[in-house]
Each structure stands twice: as C-alpha cells, then as structure tokens.
Structure 1
Amino acid sequence: MEKITAIIPTYNEQHNISAAIDAVAWADEVIVVDSFSTDKTVEIAKQKGVRLLQREYENSASQKNWIIPQATHSWIFLLDADERVTDKLKLEINQLLANTDLKDAYWIRRSNYFMGTKVRFSGWQGDKVIRLFKRDKCRYQEKHVHSEIICDGDVGYLKGKLEHFTFKNIAHYLEKWDRYSSWSATDHFNRGQRPTIFHFVFKPAFRFFRDYILRLGFLDGLTGLIVCSLASMGIFMRYLKLKQILKDKG
C-alpha cells in the first residue's frame, strides 16, 4: 500500500487547526506549514505531535511548492485548515492507495458552507480541487489567488467530498475579501491588464446574473443572495485596486 503525507498550510488558524489535523490523522505523516502565526496555531500543532515547519508567506502557490518536495512520502494529500474530510472520502483514499493502477492526481469535489449554511448553488455547485497527487508529478501555478495544480500526468476523479467551511462571519469574510482582492489585483497587474468601464460595470453585473440566475443562486435563499452579491462586489473591488496600483506605479 502506498504511503501518504498530509499537508496543512496555516496562518492564524487556532480555531481550525486541531480539527483539521484530526481530519487527516489516518495519513502516514502530517505536516503543518505555518506562515509565522501570531495566535495559538503553532502551540496547538505542537501539542498534536505533527511535523511543523515555518516559512514567511509570499503567496499560496509559493508556500505549497516549497513544502511539497519536503514530504517523506510520494503521495500528497493537501488540506486547507477550514476543510474537513468526509468518512466516504477517507475510505475511498485508503482503498485507492491499496491499488497498483493509480492516476497521478485526483479531483475532489467540495461541499461549501457560508457562515455555517450549506450553499448548494450560487456558482459553488461545481467546485472541485486537486488535492490528492503524486509529489513529483504536480506543482502549483505561480500566482497569488486561485492557483491550480499543474499535473504532468493523468488525472482522475474521486466520489467522496471535502467539506469546506469558508467564512465564520461577515467580519471574517471582509478581512479575507480585502486580502484576496489585493492579491488578485496584483496578479492582473503582473499580466499587464488595465481596467476599463467594462471591468467596473459589466463584469460585476454579469457575475451576479450568472451566479444568481443561471447558476440558481436564488434557490439558496438569503444566503444565495448574499454570496452572489459579495462575489459581484469582489470583482469591482479587484479592478478598483488594480486601478490604484497603476496610479501608484505612475
């Protein structure tokens, strides 16, 4: 049976880290890669007896690409601190690693929760991520936001799901929203993009229409309205920050 290393990236995740570590206790090795948290994340991780490494945060992709080669085992399972492994997914992974006919990576679908409420539509229904993969076959795209894995090989699908508890409250959302919109603006600046009226008016409007109407966000009730509205405003904020970067750069 193939052995596996579980990796959990963290920064100030004292409310999540214990449950996240417990969620991958079945792995042969668990690594927490911490970006010098200022809360009790590191203290809790040490108490749980996992392998703890720290590195100054540059961006998500850089952090993951740094830690992946340091895993002891050839198979990697990467879990964000706000995600949990369902029993079905755990069983499926263990059965998979007992086989010899394996792909090089696997897509895993996610069930998402917004402030404790499950979001079934609102553009989130097709959410999937590559989180189970061979260490030497995959790497993350070098960008700040929504970096996906590049796999040099065959990719399969798992039936079990991850549970993703995205935001605890609106303050948590706004704090993360501010950070991610800044990173996204930087990515767009690095690609040489310049915002126009199209980016400020039509892209946010279409995002809301797509997620709330075409992707059935209205079926999620008030939560769907909130999720779709915030996503639309996030598009506007991204380009507003991009405009500010361009102004600052002269």
Structure 2
Amino acid sequence: MISQNQLLSALLITYNEESNIREVLDNLAFADEIIVVDSFSIDKTFEIASTYKNVKIVQRSFDNFALQRNYTIDLASNSWILFIDADERLNTDLQQEIKTVISQDNAASAYFVARDFIFENKKLRFSGWQNDKIIRLFKKENASYNNNKIVHEKLIVNGKTGILKNKLTHYSYSNYEDYKQKMIFYGKLKAQEEFIKNTKPHFFHFYIRPAYQFLNQYLLRLGFLDGKKGVIICYLNALSVAVRFQELKKIRAN
C-alpha cells in the first residue's frame, strides 16, 4: 500500500496553451493528481483540459507567476509536488526516477532537474542553456515561491536539495514571433520588480545592460556555436532586458 507521503500531485499553470495542453496532460498521467490553474485563456485550453476526468481545473486571474504558483500549490492534496510548464515534457525514465525518489525515506526536500532547450524541434546546445536546471519536484510543506520574484520565480526551500539524473525536455521556442512575445511579456513583468526595488533607469540600463546580455550569452556562453539559432536566442533575451527598462521608465513616469 502506498503511503500518503508517496503520492504525487502534478501542477500546471496555463494561459493559451491549446497547442500544448493535450500532450502535457497525457505526459502527466503517471501522477496521482493533476491540477491546472488557467488564467482565463481565450483559446481552447480550458475546454480541452476540462475533458480529462483525471484533471482538476480551476480558473484564476493572473497577477504574477509567483502568486499563481503558490495558489496552485495550496490546491494540491499530496505532499510531493511536480510543478512543470506546459511546454515541458518528461520521458519515461524521468517519470520512473520521480516515482522512485518520492518513495525513499531519505529523500531531499526538493530536486533540481536539468533541461534540454528545444529550438524548433532541435536541441540548442549552447547560448547559456547548456547548464540550465530548475527545481521542479519538491515537498509541499518544505517549499514556496518568493512573492517578490514575480517572473523567473524562485522557489524557497527549507531543507536539503538534490538533482535528478534524467532531464526535462523544454519546448520553449516554437517560432520567432511566439518567443519574442514571451520575452517582451517577461520584460514587462521584470520592470515591476525593478520598480519595487526603486531602480532609476538611465543610460547604463537602456544600452549597456541589453548589450551585456547579448554578448554574455553569445560569446561567454558560446552562443556563436549554435549558429543562426544562437544569434536569434541571444538577441531575443537581450530584447527582454531592453523592454524591462523601457517599461520601467514608463511606470516611473506615471
């Protein structure tokens, strides 16, 4: 008999994930509970997810990523949480590793998992993504997201952390326009963080910071080895930094 402490809740927050929602929910079918919190998608995300009998789906207006994730965690019935994004996938080896880990008496409080970044169906090997890892598996009672980090949210863990051997597959870049809009959205959210920190943008923020972001990823993080794909990813990530401080300027002017 499986202990309550060994049951797994798979969590997901969504907005307009019609292209991903079926595949990710099918991918999470090994979990004991699946919960989706949707930010009132205007596509068919909510309707599709609602057809899954093993999925609990609720809708909540989006304020920021940290608050949305913490709200979703509160809905979970089980101690172990697997929190992934709609564009991430777990292979069968990773699924089995997760089941094994959560059954161990000496399990850590949280686990990092490395990710392969997929650029239009091919793995991006450099451009800053070669060492990408993130906490995706953790105990509910030992972790929560920092509400002050409203984008690229940080999980605060009480206890030791480990790292899983198998990788997540991250299908973040499907096409140029979608990724560009994602980077602009992140940039605008980061502007709110900078406003809270009372950052006063000037020449350094408008010009040096975006240039550094590009050169760091393209040269120091070997983005040039990814060819044209490296140029695109490094440029769009630098664009997000530029948008952050332009948006901050607008916020401060109001």
Q: Same fold judged by TM-score > 0.5?
A: yes
1:127 to 129, 132, 136: 132
Q: Show the counterpart of 2:79.
A: 74
1:14 and 2:18 are equivalent in the alignment: yes
Matches of 1:236 and 1:138, distance apart in 2: 32
Q: Report the CA distance between 1:81 and its aligned residue.
A: 0.5
Counterpart residue number, 2:164: 158
Give the whole-Å Cα distance in 2 for the aligned partners of 1:27 and 1:113.
Answer: 24
For residue 245 of structure 1, what is the aligned residue in structure 2? 251
C-alpha separation in 2, matches of 1:92 and 1:140 = 24
The one-letter amino acid paired with 1:85 is L
Bigger drift between 127-136 and 169-178 goes to 169-178
In structure 1, list runs of 5 or more residues that go unmatched.
none
SS in 1 for 2:26: helix
Normalising by structure 2, what TM-score?
0.94
Give the TM-score taking structure 1 as reference length. 0.95
After superposition, where does 1:129-148 map in structure 2 within 5 Å?
A: 129-142=134-147, 143-148=149-154
SS of residue matched to 1:159: coil
Q: How far apart are residue 225 of structure 1 and its match? A: 1.0
User: Who is 2:109 aligned against?
Assistant: 104
Distance across 1 between alignment mates of 2:101 and 2:219: 38
- 3-state SS, counterpart of residue 100 of structure 1: coil
1:37 paired with 2:58, answer no
- The equivalent residue for 1:235 is 241
Q: Note the alpha carbon deviations across 1:86-129, whole angstroms, 9 max, x for none.
A: 22211111111222111000011111113333211101111111
> Root-mean-square deviation (CA), in Å?
1.2
Sequence identity (%): 42
Alignment length (residue pairs):
248
Name which of 111, 115, 119 aligns with 1:114: 119
In structure 2, how many angstroms separate the alpha carbons of the residues matched to 1:180 and 1:205? 18
- 1:207–1:178 CA distance, 2 compared to 1 (3 A): closer
Larger mean Cα displacement after TM superposition, 111-120 or 26-35: 111-120
The list of structure 1 runs, each at least 4 consecutive aligned residues, that deviate by more than 4 angstroms after superposition, is none
Q: Which residue of 2 aligns with 1:51?
A: 56
Displacement of 1:173: 1.7
